[in-house]
């Protein structure tokens, strides 16, 4: 019965997508963030980006399908450079876990809306959905639920294209997807939906999921039963409430799932959708006081734990498996960045996704650690991830696109042969480069030369196969070229 229900919902979702349920409802101007603001923010981890544009921010509302598969109105943030330079690529930023339904990009709360907006300072049209069950959307947010994460993105993309067409703002066919933490899961979810259900009408140019929990039913469930303390028990509660939101037949009340000691901490969050941090502190206090440490399994009744561990065909476990986003075959280049010291999302999620996706036949999927010999936790990981991820995304821009002070794959610099396995030639046309560097995907500078020149022949035979970057710096501009070593 559960599989039949899921199939019917899946068919209904595809049907509503193809019918064009994603209509633009309203656009509200939220203000401008000037160039100086972003120059200060980005200077710490993207020093080679000289920001020359501010960002205009808009709150978009649009029609979509809610978690109950009925019509809904959702919201999100749209960012446009305040200096339009011609047709621009579009990038989707999927935001991470927030404190509640109103801590969202379109309300300009927290810091993640700045990450979405930052992409517009380097030439992107950027948008960040608030997600279903947050912002304007009704109901409880179905946390890390792939279908609704993806649906919010796809429907918002359609709505903003309507707005851009109305305003005669030109955009290219290039679409990029990225996100961090829950947003990494959301990025993978959106990419999967587009490539498996909406191609060729929509295609993804490149995808950058970062530090996401891609294997919910395996790695994250093992963490639930682990004897190692985990200090974010609220994530398990949030995920369980999400399961109930999507599958209301699983149980009738939270008292059937959680032990009585924890109900008073959990119910206010479920009823309001606000206060995840408060709930986490209360759960930690109970676990440490009454159970000898922060072991999330003690929040659950023994009957539920027994089902999860021993009855794999139970509807509860089938529902959990629907939250996984690692077992599919990405078509677009996909770079999954992570940190091995991550204390919230085990980095094995990224390795698991990389292994399965490549075994499935993915052409260009890589999981890469961004740590440089120093363990970084979940919060510390985002800056080095962006430092590596942003140049990687820029390397896929069309040759004709110039992104302010960075030119990507410009005709002014020729790298040949590319791909190569032993030697490359670098030829410059009418520019004089002061510094030339080869950088790998972890951000390490493998080779550097600082002097004016017009031509260079490099031996690359000592480097492993993979993707690298040639960074060329002149007096007033930086050039990025992607190098493929076979």
Quote the Cα angle for 164-67-73, to 5°. Answer: 35
pLDDT digits (tens, 9 = 90+) for 106-151: 999 888 899 899 899 888 999 999 999 999 999 999 999 999 999 9
Listed in sequence order, the residues at least 6 apart from 295 whose beta carbon sits closer than 8 Å to its beta carbon are 226, 227, 229, 230, 287
pLDDT at res. 5 = 43
Same domain, 100 and 184: yes
User: CA-CA distance, 123 to 116, in Å (whole number)?
Assistant: 12
Same domain, 97 and 194: yes
Listed in sequence order, the residues at least 6 apart from 121 whose beta carbon sits closer than 8 Å to its beta carbon are 35, 38, 42, 49, 51, 52, 53, 54, 55, 81, 404
Is 90 exceeded by the pLDDT of residue 201?
Answer: yes
Q: What tokens does 59 get?
A: 């709150």
Concatenated DSSP letters of 194-218: IIIIITTTS--SEEEEES----III
Contact 480, 49 (CB under 8 A): no
In a 13 Å sphere around the CA of 395, the CA atoms on its Cβ side amount to 23
Q: Among residues 86, 92, 85, which one has the least CA distance to residue 53?
A: 85
User: CA-CA distance, 403 to 406, in Å (whole number)?
Assistant: 5
pLDDT digits (tens, 9 = 90+) for 382-425: 988 988 898 889 888 874 443 334 455 667 788 889 889 889 88
Contact 441, 468 (CB under 8 A): yes
Residue 119 lies in a domain: yes
pLDDT digits (tens, 9 = 90+) for 315-326: 999 999 999 999
Average pLDDT over residues 218-230: 96
Same domain, 129 and 139: yes
The pLDDT-based confidence of 7 (bands split at 50, 70, 90) is very low
In the sheet with 413-416, reading across from the earlier edge strand, the strands are: 413-416, 423-428, 455-459
pLDDT at res. 40 = 78
- 388 compared with 52, residue with greater pLDDT: 388
Between the alpha carbon of residue 351 and those of residues 25, 49, 64, 384, 468, the distances in Å are 40, 30, 33, 18, 20
Is 60 exceeded by the pLDDT of residue 17?
Answer: no
pLDDT at res. 431 = 74
Q: State what percent of residues in the chain have pLDDT above 90.
A: 66
pLDDT at res. 407 = 53
Final residue before a domain boundary, out of 296, 321, 346 = 321
Residue 200 lies in a domain: yes
pLDDT at res. 19 = 40
- Most confident stretch, 271-280, 445-454, 469-478: 271-280
Same domain, 37 and 159: yes
Quote the Cα angle for 267-269-275, to 5°. Answer: 145
Same domain, 42 and 112: yes
Quote the Cα angle for 42-45-48, to 5°. Answer: 75
N- to C-terminal Cα distance for the chain? 49
Final residue before a domain boundary, out of 270, 299, 321 = 321
Same domain, 204 and 307: no
We report the CATH number of the domain holding residue 479 as: 2.60.40.3080
pLDDT at res. 404 = 36
- 327 compared with 457, residue with greater pLDDT: 327
Average pLDDT, the chain: 88
Q: Among residues 146, 129, 99, which one has the least CA distance to residue 268?
A: 99
pLDDT digits (tens, 9 = 90+) for 57-67: 999 999 999 99
The pLDDT-based confidence of 6 (bands split at 50, 70, 90) is very low
H or E element, residue 243: helix 234-246
User: CA-CA distance, 350 to 215, in Å (whole number)?
Assistant: 9
Contact 442, 335 (CB under 8 A): no
Listed in sequence order, the residues at least 6 apart from 448 whose beta carbon sits closer than 8 Å to its beta carbon are 435, 436, 437, 438
pLDDT at res. 413 = 83
pLDDT at res. 453 = 62
Residue 295 lies in a domain: yes
pLDDT at res. 454 = 66
User: CA-CA distance, 388 to 450, in Å (whole number)?
Assistant: 22
Length of the chain: 486
Residue span of the structural domain in which 437 resides: 409-485
We report the CATH number of the domain holding residue 358 as: 3.40.50.1820
Q: What are phi and psi of 334, to 5 degrees?
A: -135, 125
pLDDT at res. 125 = 96
pLDDT digits (tens, 9 = 90+) for 288-316: 999 999 999 999 999 999 999 999 999 99
Is 60 exceeded by the pLDDT of residue 15?
Answer: no
Residue 467 lies in a domain: yes
pLDDT at res. 91 = 98
Q: Among residues 437, 461, 470, 462, which one has the least CA distance to residue 451?
A: 437
Residue 195 lies in a domain: yes
Is 50 exceeded by the pLDDT of residue 16?
Answer: no
Is 80 exceeded by the pLDDT of residue 455?
Answer: no
Same domain, 208 and 220: no
Same domain, 334 and 438: no
Same domain, 72 and 90: yes
Average pLDDT over residues 22-40: 88
Place of tokens 């290219």: 172
Q: What tokens does 189 get?
A: 């979810």
- Give the chain's domain count: 3
Contact 206, 332 (CB under 8 A): yes
User: CA-CA distance, 229 to 375, in Å (whole number)?
Assistant: 18
Contact 54, 121 (CB under 8 A): yes
Q: What tokens does 464 get?
A: 């492993």
User: CA-CA distance, 107 to 130, in Å (whole number)?
Assistant: 9
Residue 401 lies in a domain: no
Residue 52 lies in a domain: yes
Average pLDDT over residues 460-480: 77
Same domain, 375 and 449: no
Q: What are phi and psi of 366, to 5 degrees?
A: -140, 135
Contact 142, 242 (CB under 8 A): yes
Is 90 exceeded by the pLDDT of residue 457?
Answer: no
Among 41-55, 162-176, 249-263, the minimum mean pLDDT is found in 41-55
User: CA-CA distance, 98 to 131, in Å (whole number)?
Assistant: 11
CB atoms under 10 Å from CB of 402, counted, come to 16
- Coil, helix or strand for 285? helix
Q: Among residues 326, 427, 403, which one has the least CA distance to residue 367?
A: 326
Same domain, 313 and 333: no
Between the alpha carbon of residue 424 and those of residues 83, 427, 485, the distances in Å are 37, 10, 10
Final residue before a domain boundary, out of 260, 291, 321 = 321
Same domain, 241 and 357: no
The pLDDT-based confidence of 83 (bands split at 50, 70, 90) is confident
Residue 463 lies in a domain: yes
Q: What are phi and psi of 412, to 5 degrees?
A: -70, -20
pLDDT at res. 374 = 85
């Amino acid at each position: 019965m559960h599989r039949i229900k899921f199939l019917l919902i899946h068919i209904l979702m595809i049907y509503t997508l193809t019918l064009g349920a994603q209509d633009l409802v309203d656009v509200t101007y939220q203000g401008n963030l000037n160039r100086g603001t972003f120059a200060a923010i980005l200077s710490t981890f993207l020093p080679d980006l000289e920001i020359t544009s501010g960002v205009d921010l808009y709150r978009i509302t649009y029609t979509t399908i809610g978690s109950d598969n009925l019509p809904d109105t959702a919201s999100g943030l749209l960012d446009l450079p305040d200096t339009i330079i011609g047709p621009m690529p579009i990038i989707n930023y999927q935001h991470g876990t927030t404190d509640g339904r109103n801590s969202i990009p379109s309300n300009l709360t927290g810091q993640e809306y700045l990450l979405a907006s930052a992409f517009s300072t380097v030439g992107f049209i950027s948008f960040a959905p608030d997600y279903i069950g947050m912002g304007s959307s009704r109901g409880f947010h179905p946390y890390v639920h792939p279908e609704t994460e993806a649906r919010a993105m796809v429907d918002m993309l359609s709505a903003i294209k309507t707005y851009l067409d109305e305003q005669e703002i030109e955009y290219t066919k290039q679409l990029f997807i990225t996100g961090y933490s829950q947003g990494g899961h959301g990025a993978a979810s959106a990419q999967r939906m587009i490539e498996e259900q909406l191609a060729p009408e929509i295609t993804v140019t490149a995808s950058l999921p970062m530090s996401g929990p891609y294997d919910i039913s395996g790695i994250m469930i093992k963490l639930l039963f682990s004897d190692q303390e985990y200090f974010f028990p609220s994530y398990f509660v949030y995920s369980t409430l999400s399961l109930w939101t999507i599958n209301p037949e699983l149980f009738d009340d939270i008292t059937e799932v959680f032990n009585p000691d924890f109900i008073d901490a959990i119910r206010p969050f479920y009823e309001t959708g606000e206060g995840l941090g408060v709930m986490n502190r209360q759960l930690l206090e109970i676990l440490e006081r009454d159970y000898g440490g922060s072991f999330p399994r003690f929040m659950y009744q023994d009957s539920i734990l027994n089902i999860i561990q021993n009855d794999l065909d139970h509807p509860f476990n089938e529902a959990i498996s629907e939250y996984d986003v690692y077992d599919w075959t990405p078509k677009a280049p996909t770079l999954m960045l992570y940190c091995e010291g991550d204390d919230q999302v085990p980095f094995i999620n990224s390795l698991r996704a990389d292994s399965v996706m490549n075994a499935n036949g993915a052409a260009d999927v890589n999981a890469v650690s961004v740590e440089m010999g120093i363990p970084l936790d979940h919060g510390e990981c985002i800056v080095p991830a962006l430092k590596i991820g942003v140049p990687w995304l820029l390397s896929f821009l069309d040759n004709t696109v110039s992104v302010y002070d960075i030119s990507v794959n410009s005709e002014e610099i020729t790298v040949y042969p590319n791909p190569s396995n032993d030697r490359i030639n670098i030829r410059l046309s009418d520019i004089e480069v002061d510094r030339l560097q080869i950088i790998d995907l972890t951000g390490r500078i493998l080779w550097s030369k600082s002097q004016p020149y017009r031509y260079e022949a490099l031996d690359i035979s000592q480097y492993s196969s993979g993707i690298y970057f040639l960074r060329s710096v002149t007096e007033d501009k930086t050039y990025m070229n992607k190098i493929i070593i076979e």
